[in-house]
Amino acid sequence: MTFESFNPDTKAVTVNHTGDVYWYTLATTKSSCTVLVRYYPFDKQTCELTFTTWLYQTNEQIFYAVSDILENGAYKSYEIFNAQWSVVVDTVEVGNATYECITCIGQEQSFVYYKLILIRGQHWLYFFNIILPCFVMSAMTLIVIWLPEKDVAGAASLGVTCILAFFVFLTFLFTQLPATGIPLIGKCLSLESFLKTS
């Protein structure tokens, strides 16, 4: 995880009449989560992020989540839409925890916990671009097998056309498939490739 402040030199703080000091800062946080692509393109990912500090205890610094997502004292879930993903902020928790480390035994730190659910969008696009062509080429392979023995030249011509169409489709498909893991559709295409060439 990388953390970058928009303005690291900022000294702007708000001091309350009770002596509480509030420091509002903006930052860009980049993080990554493990992606499971077994059911690509109909996969759903879950990502959990916890923000805390190891330097300050709760009597020195307290984390708060964004206050505009409060609903009746609890944090509400909300969605962020993208062209490829829909991000649902499912859980937001704010609290204190005691972490076990050598230098912080018995110290209580403030934390903010987010649980994000990423749902891949545009299912119809994936269906028409990936799944439907797989079924069409599988059907064409079955047609080649069922052609009568009298028309050997026609069967061979259709078979070569099927193989060429399949491998052109594979070059397109490998630009669409995620680079991590092997989705079920990849296993299906490998089996179909084996059946077409044998």
109-151 per-position pLDDT tens digit: 888 888 888 887 777 777 777 778 878 877 877 777 777 777 7
Give residue 89's identity as a one-letter amino acid code.
V
For the cut 50, the answer to whether the pLDDT of residue 1 exceeds it is no
Q: What are the counts of helices (DSSP H) followed by strands (DSSP E) for the chain?
A: 4, 10
Q: What is the rounded (10 degree) CA torsion for 74, 77, 80, 86?
A: 160
Which residue in 132, 139, 90 sits closest to 115, CA to CA? 90
Residues 166-195: pLDDT tens digits? 788 778 777 776 666 667 777 777 777 776
Contacts 24+ apart (CB under 8 A), 186-195: 188/134, 189/134, 192/134, 192/137, 192/138, 192/141, 192/166, 193/166, 195/141
Span of 8-22, 61-75, 91-105, 173-187 with lowest mean pLDDT: 61-75
β-strand pairing of 27-30 with 78-81: unpaired
| Residue among 148, 147, 90, 97 at smallest CA distance from 118 | 90
Contact 158, 143 (CB under 8 A): yes
From CA 198, how far away is CA 188, in angstroms rounded?
A: 16
SS (H, E, C) 93-106: EEEEEECCCCCCCC
DSSP characters over 5-19? ES-TT----EE-TTS
Considering the entire predicted model, what is its pTM?
A: 0.56
Percent of the chain with pLDDT over 70: 75
Q: Which residues pair with 29 in a beta bridge?
A: 3
